[in-house]
Chain A
Amino acid sequence: MNNDFYSSSILPYAAIIIKICRAYTDTQEDFEDYYQEVCLQIWKSRNNFNGQSEWSTWVYRLSLNVNMTLLKKRKNNQKDSSSDLLAGEATEEPQAFADESLDKLYRAIRQLSEVDRAVILLYLEEKSYQEIADIIGTNSNNIGVRIKRIKERLKKILDGKVN
């Protein structure tokens, strides 16, 4: 991956990638791994971008897919073996942000299912229902209801009504 590609095609969208990776990882080390993996996958899949959507939409989709896949893999690895390299990270420092509210919100988002995390992230990024549906690969009819349900759950988590 050359620096030109990184500077012109990834760096301007780094905020998107960061926001997504933060929602799928608990520790700073994992976050950096996921971020790097997303960058690598963007570079590797760049020829698959057909221009039918915005580059940023494509980056959202790819970032979410990579994060969901990595999270699934991590969960499987943790199930497989407690001595596994990827699983043996209980001693790592958890992610913490200077902004307390955002920190709380991210902690709450991480308690959602993988798909719900994706939906709420896209909603918070002010994507339209149609865009969310396009990125997630679902029907836009149910997005509104789903967002309402996720927001209710998030509110409960933030209010300490759900563990």
Chain B
Amino acid sequence: MEKSIETMWKEGFLNSDVLIVPKVNNLYDKKSLYIMTKFKKMFLKNIRGIVIGSILLCIGSYIIGAILAGSIVLIMMLYVAYTAYNEMKGLEKIDKGQSSYLFLKSFKDWIERSIDRYGRMYRFVYPILILTFYFGIWFSSSFEGMRERVGEHSDLFLGLHPGTTILVLSFAILMSIFSKVIHRKDVKIIYGGIVNKLDSALTEMEELRD
């Protein structure tokens, strides 16, 4: 080493090209794409989780003798996963060529529309799942002994315990009524971190635009 590091440092900066100030623009280009990529990854993971979970549930229901209920749940959840997958394709349609602000705005709009559509879908999905679980488990072969014991102590209606059935039905109706609110909470729990990042990036950009 001929020169000392101090000399290398000092002399190096006499050359003006090293200290050229980069332009401060498109600040959020990468950040925006990163947020969306992360969201898509989580979304895909979630879809995979739904498929794997419902297959395991179906296997479980076969074991406890409620294969019909398990199959209904499996079909239902596969439908949810398929819808989610199609929904995700909509993300690809967002124009990446627009400004970061408009890009993130479109992304946020997509999330809002998606929550709305899912909320409507879950209006049917939640009660069907609850009732399928209830009927499936109640009429499963593993519950035969329990059914008989309940029948000895109270009158059954169409093989069901009226009080429990009314309770489960009420719960299913409530879930249907509040499906949008519940789904919004779900989204917040699963994607809260990334949605917060998105919101703060949008807020920052709005401040920067002022």
Chain A interface residues (CB < 8 Å from chain B): 1, 6, 11, 14-15, 18-19, 22, 31-33, 35-37, 39-40, 44, 84-86, 97-99, 101-105, 120, 124, 151, 154-155, 158-159
Given A97-B17, A104-B8, A105-B12; A36-B22 close (CB under 8 Å): yes
Tally chain B residues at the interface, Cβ within 8 Å.
24
Q: Does the CB pair A98–B33 fall under 8 Å?
A: no
**Does residue B167 face the partner (Cβ distance < 8 Å to A)?**
no
Q: Does the CB pair A124–B5 fall under 8 Å?
A: yes
Chain B interface residues (CB < 8 Å from chain A): 1, 3, 5-6, 8-9, 11-13, 15, 17-19, 21-24, 27, 30, 33-34, 37, 204, 208
Specify which of A15, A44, A84, A97 is in contact with B12 (CB 8 Å cutoff): A97
- Secondary structure of the B side of the interface? helix
Given A86-B34, A104-B8; A15-B1 close (CB under 8 Å): no
Q: How far is the CB of B33 from chain A (nearest CB, A)?
A: 6
Please name all residues of chain A whose beta carbon is closer than 8 Å to the beta carbon of B17 when the two chains form the complex: 97-98
Please name all residues of chain B whose beta carbon is closer than 8 Å to the beta carbon of A86 when the two chains form the complex: 30, 34
Q: How far is the CB of A67 from chain B (nearest CB, A)?
A: 14
Q: How far is the CB of A52 from chain B (nearest CB, A)?
A: 26
List 15 A-B pairs, Cβ < 8 Å: A1-B208, A18-B18, A18-B21, A31-B22, A33-B30, A36-B27, A40-B27, A40-B204, A98-B17, A98-B18, A99-B18, A101-B3, A104-B8, A124-B9, A155-B1
A1 to B34, CA, bound (A): 22
- Secondary structure of the A side of the interface? helix
Q: Which residue of B lies closest to A95 (CB)?
A: B18
A124 to B19, CA, bound (A): 16
Q: How far is the CB of A34 from chain B (nearest CB, A)?
A: 10
Given A14-B19, A155-B1; A85-B33 close (CB under 8 Å): yes
Q: Does the CB pair A98–B24 fall under 8 Å?
A: no
Q: How far is the CB of B107 from chain A (nearest CB, A)?
A: 15
Q: Does the CB pair B21–A11 fall under 8 Å?
A: yes
A19 to B23, CA, bound (A): 16
